[in-house]
Amino acid sequence: MKNLHDRGVISRYRQYLPVTDATTVVSLNEGSTPLIYSPKLSKLVGRGAEVYVKYEGLNPTGSFKDRGMTMAISKAVERGAKAVICASTGNTSAAAAAYAARANLACAVLLPAGKIAAGKLLQAFIYGAKVVAIRGNFDDALRLVRELGADGRFEIVNSINPFRIEGQKTASFEIIEELGDAPDIHILPVGNAGNITAYWQGYREYHGLGKATKRPRMTGFQAAGSAPIFLGHVVDKPETVATAIRIGNPASWQGASDAVKDSGGCIDIVSDAQILEAQRWLAAEEGIFVEPASAASVAGLLKCFSNDRCAACPFHQYPEGAKIVLTVTGHGLKDPEAPMVHGFKALEADATMDAVAKVLGVSC
């Protein structure tokens, strides 16, 4: 039978992942996402720099979570699990529900009530998960998931499951293969901090194998109202328009701190206004539509070239011709509401050439 999984991250990177012949691969052909050159961001950085956007919104469920979920669900099947569970700000639940559906596993998702973008909530429903809206935030939901998963009835597929991190590190492999080396600086949004931990692991592994001559400075951006790592303390009531990263007590806090410290990077913050403006800018200037949390990467890079950059900003000193990669983690269509702050409105016209020409400001 044709191997339907021959394009997923497990089949592509099998030798670097903890899978065996006993692992039944559950895949939707995730990964291999485009690394898109950004002329305008490259110009902003100057000095011959090349800036690339790793467009993770083009994964099967529209976010980077699919890379980790193919691993977590494949391993859950291998271990004989019958049901999986996760807490989520939306994207993890979408991915868990999809991969669980494919593997015939039951899936329960605990979501902060009223704080999930419309597209993500719809995904959990349509893929057939049991959706529980928690009267609390993501951190409350994750605490409950840890308790519910403790006795083995459910396999936890949050990023506290180490297989998730293993799968997500494959994004670094792809970047190194595509650029021929690691970039100098890598920028990404930070919420529960699993992804920055995973990228750093991937970069270290490929560097250790001689596939890269260097490792990038890992630079993470949190939303200003949900910035526990930046502030150095838990945030009890996290708030941000970027609901995906509305997290006050990240599970992989230590991993993020290590990545930043070991790589000479930093964790900084961007405001909701900066996030929404960067989201619009990336769509309107480069044709790349990402969700608000993902735009934190772009807002972060723009901040690095403003008067407001942080003391540890890697752009205080960077080499000529530097290569910079920004991960944009999720697709813009997941959250059709947040960008409407811009007040987009159609021009209206009667169905005549004259009327259309008039609103377009052209003559016919």
Residues that bind ligand AN7 (CB under 6 A): 63, 88-92, 189-195, 244-245, 291, 293-294, 329-330
| CB 329 to ligand AN7: min, Å | 3
State which residue, 183 or 228, has the beta carbon closest to ligand AN7: 228
| CB 191 to ligand AN7: min, Å | 3
State which residue, 62 or 314, has the beta carbon closest to ligand AN7: 62
Nearest-angstrom CA–CA distance, 208 and 257: 20
State which residue, 193 or 288, has the beta carbon closest to ligand AN7: 193
State which residue, 72 or 293, has the beta carbon closest to ligand AN7: 293
Cβ-contact 265, 258 below 8 angstroms: no
| CB 68 to ligand AN7: min, Å | 9
Give burial (CB, 10 Å; 0-12/13-18/19+) of 61.
Answer: buried
| CB 261 to ligand AN7: min, Å | 17
| CB 99 to ligand AN7: min, Å | 14
| CB 105 to ligand AN7: min, Å | 18
Nearest-angstrom CA–CA distance, 30 and 48: 32
Nearest-angstrom CA–CA distance, 140 and 235: 12
User: Which tokens go with 56?
Assistant: 């993770």
Cβ-contact 64, 329 below 8 angstroms: yes
State which residue, 182 or 251, has the beta carbon closest to ligand AN7: 251
Nearest-angstrom CA–CA distance, 200 and 204: 6
Q: Given its phi and psi angles, is residue 321 left (phi above 0), alpha (psi -120 to 50 degrees) or beta? A: left
State which residue, 234 or 364, has the beta carbon closest to ligand AN7: 234
State whether the Cα torsion 56-340-279-93 is positive or negative.
negative
Q: How many CA atoms lie within 13 A of 170 on its CB side?
A: 31
State which residue, 42 or 294, has the beta carbon closest to ligand AN7: 294
Cβ-contact 98, 123 below 8 angstroms: yes
Nearest-angstrom CA–CA distance, 222 and 117: 18
| CB 206 to ligand AN7: min, Å | 20
